[in-house]
A and B are shown apart, each in its own frame.
Chain A
């Protein structure tokens, strides 16, 4: 079993690194009720997740520029639309040259560029990474309000679909006989911890996250996000299922080796106590868009199938205790 973890320091470094790498969307600090006074005619986004939010909600012609990553189908669900609008690098100078009325930025990425644009008198709105259905909804509402009445209507449609989808998934997850304990490996070798979007989709998908056990359940400060845990500690914590995030076509990287480690392949040969290993496409988990719920949608049948045979599950519980 995992030991309680009193050394959050080294972990914080990993979490910070994670935040800089993928900076997904979310609603923010400021008053979400205040609508934009006028519809901004030229909007630039300098964050992968606000890029997609902008492409989904804005009027044609309203987008003056988006970041380069949004065209990558491995990272973006709006890659086709992204190819139709100008591309801009996240530097204050290039963005300012586009004379935007509004710049959408992430809370954590390109902070220097965003701050410089504000000093130049450009209106910058920052979005936090979404980590739940509620924060995905809040992000849509805020972006709609910022972009104008047409965008607000589109956001309302998206939210209606999102809420219906979430409600249906929650009902299905609640109907499961029990929740299996899952470990989820990200493509970069980190493990999904409580607090992030992947954890939310894991839970909505009918699993309980084994990494949540590392936290003191008595309400001591909880830390969210993904971090790297020794694989051996994770394996010996005996998860029922191991979810492996895949990034097909991604550039080679040393960090991609962990999810393919032979130790995982060998686990499946253990017989009665073997965890199932399920691959999960990672591109929907990069940003907090309604599409992220498709992950939970795909996980639910797996959770239902694995939780179904009660005798096997019972022996497994005994083996664990």
Chain B
């Protein structure tokens, strides 16, 4: 069921758009035949990349959220709250505006810089938030705010007359008008990240029983932590370099699916991967259709859903002192 949902949403996302329904044509999409109509070009060059990118980024963010929540045993952990999205965006912005990139956007350099930014940011947050729990989230918020400020500063000093528009793209996130080259760049990073995260399942399950129990079961905590952080840096770094910081998917997807997988982090990671791959294209599709030709950015759509869920988590967490996740 959960496997079919992303495919269904992906198919709808290819077919529906602001210019109406186009029947997906497999031979064009698979590259067997060059598109010979404007509709075919719209399908291949505009809807296919954004659908693929939204599915990949949704999968990465969902899986990262589940793994980070399991690792930190904190229900508020996700790439956004831990500052990884902002630091990745800062890396990509620095690469684009002060690097050699003659042309903005897709290219290995911004992706690598985003990856580096996310890795450094997460490392800093984990080092600062050694107390665990709340101090980790607070460190993430602090590092994230710092990175956001630097992004604004960099865009203000970069001689771009479009600095304001740029900030919206980087801070809210969008998958609009990306190209197949963007999707091809993101693919390997997303795949590597997902493989690493799913490989953490057993360790996260053991960690769910407590650190001491996990150690007695032979789990190397340092290695587990490194694997989750590296996978998050790789996935979120590349995702942010392509689409900017898309928030809340990593937060809400694991929370929505946790009751269905029996509160086991090991099973929650692949489930959240599929859930994210459903939610993000769905939010993107909704943003395209509601906006009537002027899109509502996917980051806005996800935040509209995510912020209330975030608040709900804060409230219920305040009531019940400790829950299981």
Residues of A within 8 A of B (CB): 2-3, 5-7, 10-11, 14, 17, 20-22, 75, 188-189, 214, 227-233, 235-238, 250-258, 260-263, 266-267, 269-271, 273
B2 at the binding interface (Cβ < 8 Å) = no
Question: Size of chain B's interface in residues, with CB distance under 8 A?
Answer: 45
**Can you name 22 A-B pairs with beta carbons within 8 Å?**
A5-B293, A10-B291, A10-B296, A229-B294, A230-B18, A231-B177, A236-B42, A252-B96, A252-B160, A253-B160, A253-B165, A253-B166, A255-B165, A256-B103, A256-B104, A258-B177, A261-B177, A262-B45, A262-B179, A266-B45, A271-B36, A273-B38
Chain A neighbourhood of B164, CB < 8 A: 17, 20-21
Give per-residue flags for B137-167: 1 if the beta carbon is below 8 A from chain A beta carbons, else 0. 0000000000000000000001111101110
| A14-B42 Cα distance, complex, nearest whole Å | 24
**Quick one: which of A20, A214, A235, A261 contacts B38, CB cutoff 8 A?**
A235
Chain B neighbourhood of A232, CB < 8 A: 17-19, 42, 46-47
| A21 x B162 contact (CB < 8 A) | yes
**Quick one: which of A3, A263, A273 contacts B46, CB cutoff 8 A?**
A263
**Quick one: which of B19, B34, B102, B162 contacts A269, CB cutoff 8 A?**
B34
| B45 x A22 contact (CB < 8 A) | no
Closest to B45 in A: A263
| A266-B38 Cα distance, complex, nearest whole Å | 9
| A228-B296 Cα distance, complex, nearest whole Å | 11
Chain A neighbourhood of B181, CB < 8 A: 262
| A273-B41 Cα distance, complex, nearest whole Å | 13
Q: Is the interface of B mostly helix, strand, loop or mixed?
A: loop
Chain A neighbourhood of B37, CB < 8 A: 270, 273
**Among B45, B181, B295: residue with most chain A CB under 10 A:** B45
| A2 x B293 contact (CB < 8 A) | yes
Chain B neighbourhood of A3, CB < 8 A: 292-293
Chain A neighbourhood of B44, CB < 8 A: 263, 266
Residues of B within 8 A of A (CB): 17-20, 34-39, 41-42, 44-47, 96-97, 101-105, 158-162, 164-166, 169-170, 176-177, 179-181, 288, 291-296
**Quick one: which of A21, A188, A189, A266 contacts B177, CB cutoff 8 A?**
A189
| A46-B35 Cα distance, complex, nearest whole Å | 50
What is the distance, in angstroms, from B113's C-beta to the closest C-beta of chain A? 14
**Quick one: which of A10, A258, A260, A270 contacts B36, CB cutoff 8 A?**
A270
Report the number of A-B residue pairs with Cβ-Cβ less than 8 Å.
130
| A14-B168 Cα distance, complex, nearest whole Å | 11
| B41 x A266 contact (CB < 8 A) | yes
| B38 x A267 contact (CB < 8 A) | yes
| B293 x A255 contact (CB < 8 A) | no
| A230-B42 Cα distance, complex, nearest whole Å | 11
Taking A21-B164, A253-B166 as known contacts, 11 extra A-B pairs with beta carbons closer than 8 A to each other, sorted by chain A number, are A6-B292, A11-B294, A21-B161, A229-B293, A235-B46, A236-B39, A251-B158, A251-B159, A254-B105, A258-B177, A263-B41
Chain B neighbourhood of A251, CB < 8 A: 97, 158-161
Chain A neighbourhood of B34, CB < 8 A: 269
| A188-B47 Cα distance, complex, nearest whole Å | 21
On whether A236 and B38 interact (CB within 8 A), knowing A5-B293, A253-B166, the answer reads yes
On whether A188 and B19 interact (CB within 8 A), knowing A258-B177, A270-B37, the answer reads no
What is the distance, in angstroms, from A215's C-beta to the closest C-beta of chain B? 13
When A and B form their complex, which 4 residue pairs have the shortest distance between CB atoms, in order from nearest?
A263-B45, A252-B104, A236-B19, A233-B19
**Among A3, A257, A258: residue with most chain B CB under 10 A:** A257
Chain B neighbourhood of A189, CB < 8 A: 177
| A235-B104 Cα distance, complex, nearest whole Å | 23
Chain B neighbourhood of A10, CB < 8 A: 291, 294, 296
| A65-B291 Cα distance, complex, nearest whole Å | 44
Chain A neighbourhood of B35, CB < 8 A: 266
Chain B neighbourhood of A252, CB < 8 A: 96-97, 101-104, 160
| B47 x A261 contact (CB < 8 A) | no
| B19 x A7 contact (CB < 8 A) | no
| B294 x A254 contact (CB < 8 A) | no
